[in-house]
Amino acid sequence: MSDYKRGDVVLVNLEPIRGSEQGLVRPCVVMSDLETIQASNSKPLYVIIPLTRSNSLKGKLAPRLRAKANNLPSDSTALIMHVRSIDYRRIIKRVTSLSKNDIKTLQLGLYELFNA
């Protein structure tokens, strides 16, 4: 099992889904720290935010991530409203890591989501 860090972009199999959950195999940003989760005696889980190439969503819960700044294949939108915990076995591989500025943007979006 690999130890992925906050800000790592990983390819994840999000199937099966229910309703309007984000699905398919897609890049997602790891927002948790495995060591912190395991300190609670939990099994290995990662908190992730799925990414999409669509740019139709706007606002703090859908920030745009620039491909060039993050070594992403294309500009992407982070779907903060789709944040979820996943078992490590859903992760296929690590793709890249986000810039510190973009990690901070996602953290602010999570703050907005949970403190609105």
> How high is the mean pLDDT of the chain?
91
User: Which domains does the chain possess?
Assistant: 8-115 (2.30.30.110)
Q: How much is the average pLDDT of 85-89?
A: 94
| Overall pTM > 0.75 | yes
Q: How much is the average pLDDT of 56-85?
A: 92
Of 19, 86, 16, the closest CA to residue 49 belongs to 86
Burial class (CB in 10 A: 0-12, 13-18, 19+), 20: exposed
Q: pLDDT tens digit string along 43-69?
A: 778 999 999 998 899 899 999 999 888
Which pLDDT value is given to residue 1?
63
Q: pLDDT tens digit string along 5-31?
A: 999 999 999 999 899 889 899 999 999
- Which comes out higher in pLDDT, residue 22 or 38? 22
Q: How much is the average pLDDT of 83-88?
A: 94
Q: Where are the beta strands (DSSP E) in the chain?
A: 8-13, 25-30, 45-52, 64-65, 76-78, 84-87, 91-97
Residue 35 has pLDDT above 80, yes or no: no
Residue 101 has pLDDT above 80, yes or no: yes
Using CA atoms, how far apart are residues 67 and 88, in angstroms rounded to an integer? 25
